[in-house]
Amino acid sequence: MKPFLIHTHFHKRKTGLTRSIENVLPFFTDEFETYVYGSNIDGSQITSSKLRSILFSDVKTVVHCHRNNEIMRMLLFRFLGAKFTLIATRHSETAPSGLTKFLLKKADKVITLIKSMSVNLGIKNTMVGHGVRVDEFVPNSKKKVENVSQENIILNAGRVRKAKGQLVLLEAAKVLKDHKNWALVLVGKVDKPAFLEELKAIAKKYQIENQVYFVDETRDIISYYQAAKIVVAPSFSEGFSLVTAEAMSCECAVIATKNVGVHSDLIAHQKNGYLFEAGDSSALENLLLKAMKNEILDLGKQAREEILKNWSAKKEAQNVIMVYKSN
């Protein structure tokens, strides 16, 4: 009988973290009977009663948690006598709170995503970067986005908040004014309505409001990558930056901030993408202008090659399985 593997997901909506779990689930099934427990996640769902029967059985079981509330629930089961291996992934780059550190220390193994996260955690961990479903995140140059009239798209995807650098991007996007066949599309959940108004005010100041589009968070993000000529990740901080890897898998020309999240591990400047210092809107403006005018190479094909070689979901799953099986 295969051992059980259960990934928990206690969250009110789907996020990038959700997608990172969903990406690897299919690659566990050869070695584990694999389930998800919680809500708002795709996968083979397990009921609470089935979960309890597994946890209190003699079958070898791994439970993989991703948030504090999930770890707490599993520790309660353990307190009541359940026997299983508890794995926890830390998804934030910042130093953990006292509670988070306490809970992570209760796990049998802790996974981190990037070097800075591993160092900042302050407890023993194994670093395993996220992977992309390269069979789904594929290029399609014929894809168009509804309600965007311009032929060429610059895309920013992810949470719309100050830490993600959209203010820097809007300042750099003033170059759109002289390139009417280009649009900037920002796709993601807005944390604070006032911040969205701030971004719209910048677009209006530079008279590019008819070339800037704000789109709500969507599960159909692949079509946006496929329709985009350029993807910009201008963030100041990232847990990993799965968006950047996904865009590269779709052969987008990617411009991202240097030494943020996994950007500098994914991107070799001028070889498979472009890097600039976080907050430097002039440098970003210059890169955008050169890309729009075809004065720098479109490195989309090289970007996908990097993802295929080093950052596939299958490779991530293989590395995670090694953590599950390690003593």
DSSP states along 68-126: HHHHHHHHHHHHTT---EEEEE---SSPPPHHHHHHHHHSSEEEESSHHHHHHH-S--E
In a domain, 144, yes or no: no
Rounded mean pLDDT of 99-115?
96
Whether the pLDDT of residue 5 is over 90: the answer is: yes
> Average per-residue pLDDT in the chain?
96
Reduced to 3 states, what is the DSSP secondary structure of residue 263? helix
As a whole number of angstroms, the distance between CA 31 and CA 212 comes to 47
The pLDDT confidence band at residue 93, using thresholds 50, 70 and 90, is: confident
Neighbours of 203 (CB within 10 A): 20
Q: Specify whether the CB–CB gap between 78 and 21 falls below 8 A.
A: no
**CB-CB contact of 110 with 66 (8 Å):** no
pLDDT digits (tens, 9 = 90+) for 270-301: 999 999 999 999 999 999 999 999 999 999 99
- Residue written as token pair 């032929």: 151
**Amino acid making up residue 322:** M
Query: Does residue 122 surpass a pLDDT of 70?
Result: yes
Q: Does residue 157 sit in the same domain as residue 293?
A: yes
For residue 161, the number of C-alpha atoms closer than 13 Å in the C-beta half-sphere is 9
Q: In this structure, are 120 and 167 located in the same domain?
A: no
What long-range pairs does 61-64 form, CB within 8 A, spacing at least 24?
A: 61/3, 61/4, 61/5, 61/6, 61/85, 62/3, 62/4, 62/5, 62/6, 62/32, 62/87, 62/324, 63/6, 63/8, 63/87, 64/5, 64/6, 64/7, 64/8, 64/88, 64/89, 64/320, 64/324
Whole-number Å distance between alpha carbons of 138 and 218: 18
Query: Average of pLDDT values for 55-81?
Result: 97
Please tell me the distance from the alpha carbon of residue 113 to that of residue 116, in angstroms, as a whole number. Answer: 9
Q: Which secondary-structure segment (H or E) carries 310?
A: helix 300-310
321 and 301 within one domain:
no
Asked if residue 226 lies in contact with residue 140, where contact means CB atoms within 8 angstroms, the answer is: yes
Same domain, 123 and 221: no
Compute the average pLDDT of residues 14-19. 88
Contacts of 321 (CB under 8 A, 6+ apart): 28, 31
| pLDDT at residue 146, as a whole number | 87
Indicate whether 303 and 157 sit together in one domain: yes
Q: Are residues 226 and 270 in the same domain?
A: yes
Give the CATH number, domain containing residue 18. Answer: 3.40.50.2000
Secondary structure of residue 178 in the 3-state scheme: helix
Q: Is 126 in the same domain as 219?
A: no
Domain that holds residue 279: 152-310
Distances (CA, A) of 108 to 21, 66, 86: 19, 14, 5
Q: Pick left, alpha or beta for residue 273 (phi over 0 → left; psi -120 to 50 → alpha; otherwise beta).
A: left
- pLDDT of 327 > 70? The answer is no
- At 215, list the tokens: 């789109």
Work out the pLDDT band at 76, boundaries 50, 70, 90: very high
pLDDT classification of 247: cutoffs 50, 70, 90: very high
**How large is the average pLDDT for residues 240-261?**
96
Same domain, 75 and 211: no
Q: How far is CA 250 from the centre of its chain?
A: 14
The span from the CA of 168 to the CA of 254, in Å, is 16
Copy the structure tokens of residue 56. 């209190």
The verdict on residue 136 lying in a domain is no
CA angle 21, 26, 31 (to 5 degrees): 110
What local confidence, expressed as pLDDT, does residue 267 receive? Answer: 97
Residue 263 has pLDDT above 80, yes or no: yes
200 with 318, same domain: the answer is no
| Count of structural domains within the chain | 2
Please give the distance of CA 168 from its chain centroid, rounded to a whole number: 20
**Domain co-membership, 35 together with 177:** no
Assigned domain for 159 exists = yes
> Residue 94 — pLDDT band, cuts 50, 70, 90?
confident
Range 110-131 average pLDDT: 94
